[in-house]
């Protein structure tokens, strides 16, 4: 075998070796990718506590009861409106609960039973408690967080979640 032929043979062997290695790599990658992927759990998922707030017997129509949810740093009100409303809970569909921290800059809201609004003394935003906390006037850029309620057969009222971000938080459950 001439020197030139040896070089050609050496090159051919190296080519075949590297081709075999590449094929093995592809096979390994294929084997890995054929493993079923596990569903990633969303990082934004929130587990809310279920906190007992009161009993139906504790409530008087149109008189707010001071509460806190989902923790003691998040004040709110529980109101029996006396009229079935969207999002209302309980046997009469008239129980609602809201955060009382204004979504604008966190001033404490006050309930006005005449028009059933929660009003802000800071910059005068107003929120309709009969329409799931919809903002009806003011500077806030979101509706009022409404606490979801569950009522059991004994009349116990439990808060189980909320639908908007509570003022001052990057997530509702700290
Ligand atoms: Fe309520 Fe500004 S803090 S409107």
- ipTM of model: 0.99
pLDDT of 16 = 52
In the predicted structure, residue 7 carries a pLDDT above the cut 80: no
Residue 97 CA to ligand 1 centre (angstroms): 19
Q: Measuring from atom 4 of ligand 1, which residue has the nearest CA? A: 123
Compute the distance from residue 99 Cα to the ligand 1 centre, in Å. Answer: 13
Distance between CA atoms of 23 and 26, rounded to whole angstroms?
5
Question: Across the strands, what pairs with 147?
Answer: 162
Confidence band, pLDDT 50/70/90 cuts, at residue 45: confident
**Catalytic one of 104, 118, 119, 146:** 104
Q: CA-to-CA distance for 146 and 98, rounded, in angstroms? A: 4
Whole-prediction pTM value? 0.76
Of the candidates 86, 112, 75, 99, the one whose C-alpha atom is nearest the C-alpha of residue 147 is 99
- Among the residue ranges 41-45, 109-113, 157-161, the one predicted with the least confidence is 41-45
Active site residue 123: yes
How far does residue 138's CA lie from ligand 1's centre (Å)?
7
The reported pLDDT for the residue numbered 70 is 98
- For position 26, what pLDDT does the model report? 47
Average pLDDT, the chain: 86
Res. 2 pLDDT band, cuts 50 70 90 = low
Sign of the Cα pseudo-torsion (127, 129, 133, 136, in order): negative
Active-site annotation holder among 12, 123, 136, 152 = 123
Nearest CA to ligand 1 atom 3: 105
Ligand 1 contact, 87 CB (< 6 A):
no
Is ligand 1 within 6 A of the CB of residue 102? Answer: yes
Report percent pLDDT > 70 for the chain: 75
Pick from 100, 103, 104, 127 the residue to mutate for probing ligand 1's pocket: most ligand atoms within 8 Å of its CB. Answer: 104
Residue scoring higher pLDDT (163 or 6) = 163
Instruction: Please give the number of the atom of ligand 1 that sits closest to the Cα of 102.
Output: 1
Which residue's C-alpha comes closest to atom 2 of ligand 1? Answer: 123
Question: Can you give the pLDDT at residue 160?
Answer: 98
Strand boundaries in 45-102, DSSP class E: 51-55, 65-68, 75-80, 95-99
Q: Please say whether the beta carbons of 61 and 162 come within 8 A.
A: no
């Amino acid at each position: 075998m001439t020197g030139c032929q040896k070089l050609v043979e050496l090159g051919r062997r190296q080519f075949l070796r590297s081709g075999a290695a590449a094929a093995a790599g592809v096979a390994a990658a294929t084997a890995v990718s054929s493993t079923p992927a596990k569903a990633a759990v969303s990082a934004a998922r929130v587990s809310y506590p279920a906190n007992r707030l009161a009993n139906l017997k504790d409530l008087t129509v149109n008189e707010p009861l001071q509460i806190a949810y989902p923790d003691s740093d998040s004040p709110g009100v529980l109101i029996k409106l006396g009229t079935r409303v969207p999002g209302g809970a309980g046997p009469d569909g008239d129980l609602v609960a809201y955060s009382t921290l204004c979504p604008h800059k966190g001033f404490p809201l006050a309930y006005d039973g005449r028009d059933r609004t929660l009003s802000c003394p800071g910059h005068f935003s107003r929120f309709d408690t009969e329409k799931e906390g919809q903002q009806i006037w003011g500077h806030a850029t979101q509706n009022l967080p409404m606490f979801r309620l569950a009522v059991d057969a004994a009349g116990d009222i439990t808060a189980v979640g909320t639908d908007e971000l509570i003022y001052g938080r990057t997530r509702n459950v700290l």
